[in-house]
Amino acid sequence: MITVPFTDLSAMTRQIWPSIEPVYLSCLLDGNYIGGPAVESFEREWAAYCGTDHAVGVANGTDALQLTLTALGVGPGDEVVVPANTFVATAAAVVRAGAAPRFADVSDETLLMTPETLRAAITPCTRAVMIVHLYGQMPDMAALLAVADKAGILVIEDAAQAHGAEWAGRRAGSFGAAACFSFYPGKNLGAFGDAGAVVTSRPELADRVRALANHGRSHGSSHYEHEVVGTNSRLDALQAIALSGKLAHLDAWTQRRIDLAARYRARLSDMGLKLVSVAPRARHVYHLLVVRTAGRDGVRAELGRRGIQTGVHYPVPCHLQPPLRRFADGPLPVAEQAAQELLSLPLFPHMTDDQVDLTCDALGDMLPAISASREFSRGR
From 87, 286, 314, 348, residue interacting with ligand PLP (rule: CB under 6 A): 87
Binding status of residue 160 toward ligand PLP by CB under 6 A: yes
Binding status of residue 61 toward ligand PLP by CB under 6 A: yes
From 78, 79, 140, 158, residue interacting with ligand PLP (rule: CB under 6 A): 158
Binding status of residue 49 toward ligand PLP by CB under 6 A: no
Do 121 and 103 form a contact (C-beta atoms < 8 A)?
A: yes
Binding status of residue 136 toward ligand PLP by CB under 6 A: no
Encoded amino acid at 364, one letter: G
Binding status of residue 72 toward ligand PLP by CB under 6 A: no
Q: Which is nearer to ligand PLP, 130 or 360 (CB)?
A: 130
H helices of 272-352, in order, are: 296-305, 333-341
From 70, 90, 126, 355, residue interacting with ligand PLP (rule: CB under 6 A): 90
Q: Which is nearer to ligand PLP, 174 or 182 (CB)?
A: 182
* Helices and strands, number each (H, E), in the chain: 11, 13
Binding status of residue 344 toward ligand PLP by CB under 6 A: no
Q: Which is nearer to ligand PLP, 307 or 315 (CB)?
A: 315
Q: Please report which helix (H) or strand (E) contains residue 85, including its range.
A: none
Encoded amino acid at 329, one letter: D
Binding status of residue 89 toward ligand PLP by CB under 6 A: yes
Binding status of residue 68 toward ligand PLP by CB under 6 A: no
Burial readout 7-27 (b: 16 or more C-beta within 10 A, e: otherwise): bbeeebeebbeeebeebbeeb
Binding status of residue 135 toward ligand PLP by CB under 6 A: no
H helices of the chain, in order, are: 9-30, 37-50, 61-71, 88-96, 115-121, 141-151, 203-213, 237-271, 296-305, 333-341, 353-379
Q: Which is nearer to ligand PLP, 85 or 355 (CB)?
A: 85
Do 160 and 190 form a contact (C-beta atoms < 8 A)?
A: no
Binding status of residue 60 toward ligand PLP by CB under 6 A: yes
Identify which range of 7-15, 56-64, 67-75, 251-259 contacts ligand PLP by CB under 6 A.
56-64
Quick one: 202 exposed, middle or buried, by C-beta within 10 A (0-12, 13-18, 19+)? middle
Identify which range of 37-45, 98-106, 158-166, 267-275 contacts ligand PLP by CB under 6 A.
158-166
From 196, 230, 295, 346, residue interacting with ligand PLP (rule: CB under 6 A): 196
CB of 111 to ligand PLP, least distance (A): 12
Question: Any bridge partners for residue 342, and if so which?
Answer: 292
Torsion of CA 1, 304, 287, 160, to 10 degrees: -100
CB of 137 to ligand PLP, least distance (A): 12
Residue 275 sits at φ, ψ, to 5 deg, of: -95, 155
Binding status of residue 164 toward ligand PLP by CB under 6 A: no
Q: How far apart are CA 246 and CA 191, in angstroms?
A: 8
Binding status of residue 355 toward ligand PLP by CB under 6 A: no
From 117, 161, 174, 359, residue interacting with ligand PLP (rule: CB under 6 A): 161
Binding status of residue 86 toward ligand PLP by CB under 6 A: yes
Q: Please report which helix (H) or strand (E) contains residue 231, including its range.
A: none
Contact footprint for ligand PLP (CB under 6 A): 60-62, 86-87, 89-90, 132, 158, 160-161, 182, 184, 194, 196
